[in-house]
Structure 1
Amino acid sequence: MSGHVGNLSPKQEATLAEFKENVKDITRPHFDDHYFLRWLRARNFDLKKSEVMLRNNMKWREQNKVDTMLEWFEPPEVMLKYYTGGLFGQDKEGALIWIDPNGYIDIKGILMSMRKQEVILSKVYLLEKIYAMFEEKTKEQGRRVDQMVIIFDMEKFGLKHLWKPGVDVFTQIIAVFEDNYPETLKKTFVVNAPKIFPLAYSLLKPFLSEETHRKVTVCGSNYKEVLLQHIDADQLPAHWGGTCTDPDGNPRCPSLIIPGGQVPESYHRQNDLDDVSAFTQVSIGRGSTLKLEYVVDKPRCAIRWQFKTDGFDIGFGVLKKTADGPQKSAEMEEVVATQRVNSHMVPEDGMVQCKEAGTYVVRFDNTYSWARAKKLLYLIEVLQPQTFDLDMPKVDSSSSLASSPGDDVYKSF
């Protein structure tokens, strides 16, 4: 049995009923059997794992205000103009098609022009737009539309795309997708894969579930024939084997599929910290950590951070104390998992909403380095709920720059 509505075994039916009962405290009116089964399939109908996954998702959505994201967030202009990809048509079974000429992305230029957190938020915004489109297509077409086919065109992909901060962003986007939008991917086709592709894929594979990995097909030189087995020609740009072109005859259809290209220097702000007058500068000794405590006096406050290091990376995480007095890191609740970040290449920034009041610990970790101390510049702020609501990232709507294909990709659903 497939695990989809109308194709469940008796055991799967029973598991679905029990799952719905277990999570009824967080169930919302729009949660139907299709919704619940996505989480069950993602964890092979393991009740406990599926429940943990769904509860983590609900917590993530609350912390990041995802449910209202389409109201308060707009992707920065450079994202709309230069981050490759776009929706184009549907496959033979109705799944939406995302085509990404990934080899033409200038990820370094993008990260020099906007903050990493803005890139990730822009991708979450896009996924929320796509989910809204799923609902519209389902109503319009009288069939269930809730999955995507992704075509990655790796033409021009090279070593420059393996720049560490860029890879970090890709892996974080994948993690967000895997953890919070399960069973959205129907199939991925990789075309024009260069010799370096196995190395690139090896960096991403640890972040993919086994089921996602099974959905990836690397096509050979006959990729157009392969794509047409799954997609009708009138649903595919001519460049990838279909019959569609832009009004001017362009076979790549850049009016809907952002073609990428080098980000102009006029967008570059070096993503740097120009004014560091409010920042604190410290040196974290080799094999040492820096723990900074912040008292959050009410729920829904947010902790926001900006920092950079000089020459080398640093570990970063946010913890919550579970008792008064001194506590080891291992005894605290993990709020933001500690990981090494390349803040010497691209300044790091981010924010997390605190669901509960309490004492939170921002931790900079240099314990893995026994040879070097790290010079750190940081600014940590605790934002009150009203400030947090008003301080969500926006873009300047007064910009005089021309519209781009990305405006359609993100807004015209």
Structure 2
Amino acid sequence: MAEKALPTDPKYDQYDFPTTAPEPQSGHPGHTTPEQDAQVYQLRSMLEQEGYTQRLDTLTLLRFLRARKFDVNLAKQMFVHCEKWRKEFGTDNLPATFEYPEKPEVFKYYPQYYHKTDKDGRPIYIEKLGKIDLNAMYKITTSERMLQNLVTEYEKLADPRLPACSRKAGKLLETCCTIMDLKGVGVTSIPSVYGYVRQASEISQNYYPERLGKFYLINAPWGFSSFFNVVKGFLDPVTVKKIHVLGGGYQKELLDQVPAENLPVEFGGSCKCEGGCELSDMGPWQEAEWAREPAWAAKEGADATIENADPGYEKKDAEGQEGVQTSA
């Protein structure tokens, strides 16, 4: 399929980063058919008729349509369900208002963080499940606050992380590269880990569709492959193809995807951030050349909202931007 400019709606589409996907996959920005463009318009019109005014930009609607194989009615149902959850959870307010001072203590038991980029320019997201001790963590924080932190980071993935990565890569990046370390997770603890993985997967698939680029499960214990075959039943086949289950000898395959200088030393890379990689939040979103103030930062206090899930900056011509990529 020939590459083309993203058909945009001036009311909702205000991007200051590239809007053409790097790979020519059907239904992805810059690689849509006239019928798919019409489906975006149809979905937006249906949602407007029901009173929705936020997150109706083309990139967002395309993600929901792809997640539902371009069935407009199913995509609409998914979008409406997501908006209901966002309102009940208070999602729009979290990036600007949620504070997590207990993070360093929580991370002693359950590190989960974004750190630099892979070779495709995607943000890297890392989780270490082996140290999870729920009893110890609940003396420091609550399950509700942990979930709020998870959602806050999903929102920050959409803005500012992905836009900054897209600017630096010169192509649209909409997904992330996830590394989930299972070191220390024994077969006996799999059920509790399974419960978390399923919950996190449901949040990701239902409310943040089309955000997974690559997923590496490393240090997988004996028997995990059998367990994963069960988990596959809850995942879309397209998602399953992105998942790589690796044992202790994962370094070569991981370094094929992640530059050594961007991968923490403990995983076979050479990165040693001052103060530790887990708390550094290093990446293009911290670099002045690529970073921009996120839209939610312009809102104040509890009234903070994210409009259209895009940065909302001065609109620029998409063709003049080509010159990007991609949560959990």
Q: Distance in 2 between matches of 1:211 and 1:170?
A: 18
Q: How much does 1:113 deviate? A: 4.3
**What is the alpha-carbon distance in structure 2 between the residues aligned to residue 71 and residue 226 of structure 1?**
37
Would the aligned equivalents of 2:215 and 2:243 in 1 still touch at CA under 8 Å? yes
Higher Cα radius of gyration: 1
CA 121–203 in structure 1, closer or farther in 2 if over 3 Å, else same: farther
Aligned partner of 1:393 in structure 2 is none
Distance 2:41 2:191 in 1: 47
- Which of 113, 126, 134 aligns to 2:162? It is 134
Hey, what does 2:33 align to over in structure 1? Answer: 9
2:74 aligned to 49, 53, 69, which one?
49
Give deviations 1:292-316, integer Å, cap 9, x for gaps: xxxxxxxxxxxxxxxxxxxxxxxxx
- Aligned partner of 1:20 in structure 2 is 44
C-alpha separation in 1, matches of 2:177 and 2:100: 23
Relative to structure 1, the CA distance from residue 115 to residue 244 in structure 2 (aligned partners, 3 Å threshold; closer, same or farther) is closer
The correspondence for 2:177, drawn from 140, 144, 149, is 149
Which of 202, 205, 209 is matched with 1:175 structurally? 202
C-alpha distance in structure 1 between counterparts of 2:235 and 2:140, whole Å: 28
Alignment of 1:33-72 (within 5 A): 33-72=58-97
What is the CA-CA distance between 1:29 and the residue it aligns to?
5.9
Residue deviations 1:142-173 (CA, integer Å, cap 9, x gap): 43232111011212111453354x64344322
Query: Which residues in structure 2 correspond to 1:231-380 (within 5 Å)?
Result: 231-247=258-274, 253-256=277-280
Partner SS state of residue 88, structure 1: strand
**CA 1:121–1:33 in 2, change beyond 3 Å: closer, same or farther?**
same
* Matched pairs, number: 255
Which of 102, 106, 111 is the aligned partner of 1:79?
Answer: 106
2:115 and 2:124 map into 1 onto residues whose CA distance is 5
- How is 1:100-111 mapped onto 2 (pairs within 5 angstroms)? 100-111=127-138
Give the letter aligned to residue 173 of structure 2: V
Deviations 1:342-363 (A, max 9, x none): xxxxxxxxxxxxxxxxxxxxxx
Q: Which residue of 2 aligns with 1:349?
A: none
Q: Deviations over 1:187-236 (max 9, x none)?
A: 10111111132354356444433332222111255522212222222222
The answer to whether the Cα contact below 8 Å between 1:235 and 1:242 also exists between their aligned partners in 2 is yes
DSSP-derived class of the 1:39 partner: helix
1:172 partner amino acid = Q
Do the aligned residues in 1 keep the contact of 2:265 with 2:271 (CA within 8 Å)?
Answer: yes
Matches within 5 A, 1:153-168: 153-159=181-187, 161-162=189-190, 164=192, 167-168=194-195
1:127, distance to aligned residue in structure 2 (A): 1.2
Q: Quote the offset at 1:41 in angstroms.
A: 0.8
Larger relative CO (CA 8 A, sep 6+): 1 or 2? 2
Opposite residue 14 of structure 1, the aligned amino acid is A
The CA RMSD measured in Å over matched residues stands at 2.9
Bigger proportion of residues as strand: 1
TM-score normalised over the length of structure 1: 0.55
- Which structure has the highest helix share of the two? 2
Query: Is the 8 Å Cα contact of residues 225 and 245 (structure 2) preserved in structure 1?
Result: no
Percent identity, aligned pairs only? 28
Which TM-score applies when normalising by structure 2? 0.68
Identify the residue that residue 287 of structure 1 maps to in structure 2: none
Q: Is the 2:218–2:245 Cα contact (8 Å) retained in structure 1? A: yes
After superposition, the Cα gap between the structure-2 partners of 1:41 and 1:48, relative to the gap in structure 1 and judged at 3 Å, is same
> In 2, distance between residues paired with 1:29 and 1:140?
27
Alpha-carbon distance in structure 1 between the residues aligned to 2:106 and 2:254: 28
Select 1:198's aligned residue among 225, 235, 239.
Answer: 225
Q: 2:56 aligns to what?
A: 31
